Amino acid sequence: MSSIKEYLTNDHRRCDDVFAKMEEQAHNSLLDAKELTQEFVADMERHFQMEERVMFPEFETKTGMTMGPTEMMRQEHSQMRNLMSQLLEAIENDDKDKFFGLSETLMILLQQHNMKEEQMLYTMAQQHLSAEADRIVEMMDSLIVE
Protein backbone atom coordinates (compact mmCIF):
# COMPACT_ATOMS: atom_id res chain seq x y z
CA MET A 1 0.00 0.00 0.00
CA SER A 2 1.34 3.40 -0.92
CA SER A 3 1.83 6.20 1.58
CA ILE A 4 -0.72 8.98 2.05
CA LYS A 5 1.59 11.43 0.34
CA GLU A 6 2.20 9.16 -2.64
CA TYR A 7 -1.45 8.23 -3.00
CA LEU A 8 -2.78 11.79 -3.00
CA THR A 9 0.10 13.13 -5.11
CA ASN A 10 -0.56 10.51 -7.79
CA ASP A 11 -4.19 11.53 -7.73
CA HIS A 12 -3.15 15.14 -8.42
CA ARG A 13 -1.23 14.02 -11.49
CA ARG A 14 -4.18 11.95 -12.68
CA CYS A 15 -6.45 15.00 -12.41
CA ASP A 16 -3.85 17.06 -14.33
CA ASP A 17 -4.00 14.57 -17.16
CA VAL A 18 -7.78 14.66 -17.35
CA PHE A 19 -7.57 18.47 -17.27
CA ALA A 20 -5.19 18.48 -20.25
CA LYS A 21 -7.47 16.10 -22.20
CA MET A 22 -10.46 18.28 -21.38
CA GLU A 23 -8.73 21.37 -22.72
CA GLU A 24 -7.60 19.57 -25.84
CA GLN A 25 -11.13 18.47 -26.59
CA ALA A 26 -12.48 21.95 -25.81
CA HIS A 27 -9.94 23.35 -28.22
CA ASN A 28 -11.55 21.34 -31.03
CA SER A 29 -15.14 21.67 -29.94
CA LEU A 30 -16.43 23.06 -26.70
CA LEU A 31 -19.68 21.13 -26.69
CA ASP A 32 -17.84 17.82 -27.24
CA ALA A 33 -15.74 18.59 -24.17
CA LYS A 34 -18.76 18.44 -21.88
CA GLU A 35 -18.26 14.81 -20.93
CA LEU A 36 -14.54 15.23 -20.18
CA THR A 37 -15.25 18.37 -18.18
CA GLN A 38 -17.81 16.49 -16.12
CA GLU A 39 -15.27 13.71 -15.63
CA PHE A 40 -12.65 16.23 -14.53
CA VAL A 41 -15.05 17.94 -12.12
CA ALA A 42 -16.08 14.55 -10.69
CA ASP A 43 -12.44 13.47 -10.25
CA MET A 44 -11.64 16.72 -8.51
CA GLU A 45 -14.68 16.43 -6.27
CA ARG A 46 -13.65 12.93 -5.32
CA HIS A 47 -10.17 14.14 -4.49
CA PHE A 48 -11.52 17.03 -2.39
CA GLN A 49 -13.80 14.67 -0.49
CA MET A 50 -11.00 12.16 0.15
CA GLU A 51 -9.21 15.01 1.86
CA GLU A 52 -12.13 16.76 3.51
CA ARG A 53 -13.93 13.66 4.75
CA VAL A 54 -11.00 11.34 5.51
CA MET A 55 -7.52 12.76 5.60
CA PHE A 56 -8.16 16.24 7.04
CA PRO A 57 -10.29 15.01 9.99
CA GLU A 58 -7.68 12.32 10.80
CA PHE A 59 -4.96 14.94 10.67
CA GLU A 60 -6.96 17.37 12.78
CA THR A 61 -7.75 14.75 15.42
CA LYS A 62 -4.13 13.69 15.61
CA THR A 63 -2.59 17.14 15.75
CA GLY A 64 -5.45 19.10 17.34
CA MET A 65 -5.18 21.77 14.66
CA THR A 66 -8.61 22.40 13.25
CA MET A 67 -8.11 25.96 12.09
CA GLY A 68 -4.63 25.50 10.64
CA PRO A 69 -3.50 24.46 7.18
CA THR A 70 -6.46 22.12 6.56
CA GLU A 71 -8.88 24.99 6.93
CA MET A 72 -6.93 26.98 4.37
CA MET A 73 -7.02 24.06 1.98
CA ARG A 74 -10.81 23.79 2.40
CA GLN A 75 -11.09 27.46 1.53
CA GLU A 76 -9.09 26.94 -1.67
CA HIS A 77 -11.24 23.89 -2.51
CA SER A 78 -14.27 26.13 -2.36
CA GLN A 79 -12.58 28.66 -4.68
CA MET A 80 -11.94 25.84 -7.14
CA ARG A 81 -15.45 24.41 -6.87
CA ASN A 82 -16.77 27.84 -7.76
CA LEU A 83 -14.51 28.04 -10.83
CA MET A 84 -15.48 24.53 -11.92
CA SER A 85 -19.19 25.30 -11.78
CA GLN A 86 -18.53 28.35 -13.97
CA LEU A 87 -16.57 26.08 -16.34
CA LEU A 88 -19.66 23.91 -16.87
CA GLU A 89 -21.77 27.04 -17.32
CA ALA A 90 -19.41 28.28 -20.04
CA ILE A 91 -19.95 25.01 -21.93
CA GLU A 92 -23.73 25.37 -21.64
CA ASN A 93 -23.42 28.88 -23.09
CA ASP A 94 -20.91 27.67 -25.72
CA ASP A 95 -18.56 30.49 -24.66
CA LYS A 96 -15.06 29.36 -25.61
CA ASP A 97 -13.24 32.50 -24.47
CA LYS A 98 -14.86 32.30 -21.06
CA PHE A 99 -14.06 28.58 -20.83
CA PHE A 100 -10.35 29.06 -21.51
CA GLY A 101 -10.16 32.10 -19.27
CA LEU A 102 -11.60 30.02 -16.45
CA SER A 103 -9.48 26.96 -17.20
CA GLU A 104 -6.30 29.06 -17.17
CA THR A 105 -7.22 30.62 -13.82
CA LEU A 106 -8.22 27.25 -12.41
CA MET A 107 -4.98 25.66 -13.62
CA ILE A 108 -2.75 28.15 -11.81
CA LEU A 109 -4.85 28.13 -8.66
CA LEU A 110 -4.90 24.34 -8.70
CA GLN A 111 -1.16 24.00 -9.23
CA GLN A 112 -0.16 26.35 -6.46
CA HIS A 113 -2.66 24.61 -4.20
CA ASN A 114 -1.20 21.20 -5.09
CA MET A 115 2.27 22.47 -4.44
CA LYS A 116 1.40 23.58 -0.93
CA GLU A 117 -0.25 20.25 -0.23
CA GLU A 118 2.51 18.11 -1.70
CA GLN A 119 5.36 20.02 -0.15
CA MET A 120 3.86 20.78 3.23
CA LEU A 121 0.59 19.23 4.22
CA TYR A 122 1.05 15.70 2.81
CA THR A 123 4.55 15.50 4.21
CA MET A 124 3.26 16.53 7.62
CA ALA A 125 0.31 14.15 7.35
CA GLN A 126 2.64 11.31 6.45
CA GLN A 127 4.79 12.06 9.50
CA HIS A 128 1.90 12.33 11.94
CA LEU A 129 -0.24 9.54 10.55
CA SER A 130 2.38 7.03 9.42
CA ALA A 131 1.10 4.32 11.78
CA GLU A 132 -2.40 4.58 10.33
CA ALA A 133 -1.37 5.26 6.75
CA ASP A 134 -2.64 1.97 5.32
CA ARG A 135 -6.04 2.32 6.92
CA ILE A 136 -6.41 5.95 5.79
CA VAL A 137 -5.41 5.21 2.21
CA GLU A 138 -7.87 2.32 2.13
CA MET A 139 -10.64 4.57 3.43
CA MET A 140 -9.88 7.19 0.80
CA ASP A 141 -9.74 4.53 -1.89
CA SER A 142 -13.15 3.16 -1.05
CA LEU A 143 -14.81 6.53 -0.55
CA ILE A 144 -18.23 7.01 -2.09
CA VAL A 145 -18.65 10.59 -3.28
CA GLU A 146 -21.56 12.39 -1.69
Q: How far is the CB of 121 from another protein (least distance, A)?
A: 7
Contact 111, 13 (CB under 8 A): no
Q: Please report how close the Cβ of residue 139 comes to another protein at its closest, in angstroms.
A: 23
Out of 38, 43, 60, 101, name the contact with another protein by CB under 8 A. Answer: 101
Question: Any contact of residue 69 with another protein (CB under 8 A)?
Answer: yes
| Dihedral angle of Cα 88, 27, 106, 146, to the nearest 10 degrees | 40
Q: Which residues of 18-44 are buried (b: 16+ CB within 10 A; e: fewer)?
A: bbeebbebbeeebeebbebbeebbebb
Tell me: does residue 79 bind another protein (CB under 8 A): yes
Residues in the interface with another protein (CB under 8 A) total: 38
Q: In Å, what is the CA distance from 32 to each residue of 37, 106, 142?
A: 9, 20, 30
Q: How far is the CB of 44 from another protein (least distance, A)?
A: 15
Dihedral of alpha carbons 2, 68, 78, 56, sign: positive
Q: By rule CB under 8 A, what string of x and - marks binding of each residue 21-60 to another protein?
A: x-xx--x---------------------------------
Q: Are 63 and 128 in contact (CB under 8 A)?
A: yes
Residues in touch with another protein (CB under 8 A): 16-17, 19-21, 23-24, 27, 65, 67-69, 71-73, 75, 79, 82, 97-98, 100-102, 104-105, 107-109, 111-112, 114-116, 119-121, 123-124
